[in-house]
Amino acid sequence: MSSLRTCTIERHFIEQQEKHPEATGELTRLMHQLAFAAKQITKEVRSAGLSDILGAAGHTNIQGEVVQKLDEISNDMIYRAFDHAGVLCCMASEEREKMIPIPNEFHYGKYTLAFDPLDGSSNIDANINVGTIFSIHRRVTPEGTPGTEADLLQTGREQVVAGYIVYGSSTMMVYTTGHGVNGFTLEPSLGEFLLSHPDMRIPKRGTYFSINTGNYHYWSEGVKRYVDHVITPNNEHGTPYSLRYIGSMIADVHRTLLYGGIFMYPLDFKDPKNPKGKLRLLYEAAPMSMVIEQAGGLSTNGKQSILDVVPTGLHDRVPLFVGSEDNVYELLGFLDKFDH
């Protein structure tokens, strides 16, 4: 890429701010902190294989999952990037049961941050892509006061910023402010995120489907019929499709954004403790759905756009179908025909 055209993420933040004369710069400062935390976590993830931070930390998080040490390190890095930054009034993390308040000695900002510090972390030991997912809302309670859960429990449609950082062969930050999607790749020798994927668009249709087929017998009839359809030769649109499933949502959805197709984590009747599905609405499904919808794709829980699902709790779970427009519409046709 010509250095004359290189756009750093910092310049992109400023250019986004300049489009809004009323902007105070608080959101720009927030995004700078996020980029800083992403660089810190990158350093930990890259060295994880060489130090003793691999392996479980021994205790379990609110989801009942064994917490990996890198989960905690990532969680703390994000907390420390924001507790004093004066841009947030409160936070929510996959790793913490309750809302995370901003210490009262610091200024309460006008935004909230819900995040999954290290999605897919159960794959860390296998050196599989993991990532940070983030969702930012404008507070709804009076400015200058401590944030409350009400500030966090807003729909995905109300997100001001949504995106993710994927720690793979390179570190990429992909985010949207509601005006399209842009991807930035970390140039480690410079310590800079550079605009590598401007104006990302998901293909209208893809020939990949992504789902844990091990749960087949626990799916609804509609999901089963859809998967049977896409693996049957010579159906329209070039079936059989290829199955790609890493078990790290951020990696599976990132691939879906780039190559097209559909990612699915449906309700499965296997796990009575997850009667509403496995993936969390606030800091997994909603931000990833905003990115995909902003890139021209669709998201649904089987009945409505994920972005319109109203959260009732910080850790609400939802069934998730997200990806290319044609693939999601095709799936909905099977759900309508066999599940309703």
- The nearest distance, CB 53 to ligand P6P, in angstroms, is 18
Q: Which is nearer to ligand P6P, 115 or 265 (CB)?
A: 265
Nearest-approach distance from CB 231 to ligand P6P, in angstroms: 18
CB of 292 to ligand P6P, least distance (A): 14
Distances (CA, A) of 47 to 35, 43, 79, 262: 19, 6, 21, 32
Strands 279-280 and 317-318 come out as: antiparallel
Give, as one character, the DSSP assignment of residue 87: S
Shortest distance, CB of residue 67 to ligand P6P, whole angstroms? 12
With CB atoms as reference, the residue minimizing the distance to ligand P6P is: 249
How far apart CA 160 and CA 144 sit, in angstroms, is: 19
Cα 320 to Cα 20: distance, rounded to the nearest angstrom: 33
Nearer to ligand P6P, 14 or 128 (CB): 128
Between CA 244 and CA 208 the distance in angstroms is: 7
Residue 141 in tokens = 């309670």
Footprint on this chain of ligand P6P (rule: CB under 6 A): 119-120, 122, 212, 247-249, 265, 278
In the numeric block, which tokens belong to residue 49? Answer: 């294989």
Q: Nearest distance from residue 111's CB to ligand P6P, in Å?
A: 25
CA distance 269 to 32: 42
Those residues with Cβ within 8 angstroms of residue 301's Cβ, 6 or more apart along the chain or in another chain:
277, 285, 309, 318, 319, 320, 321
Nearer Cβ to ligand P6P, position 88 or 249?
249
Nearer to ligand P6P, 196 or 212 (CB): 212
State which residue, 74 or 248, has the beta carbon closest to ligand P6P. Answer: 248
* Rounded least distance, CB 5 to ligand P6P, Å: 35
Q: Which is nearer to ligand P6P, 109 or 266 (CB)?
A: 266
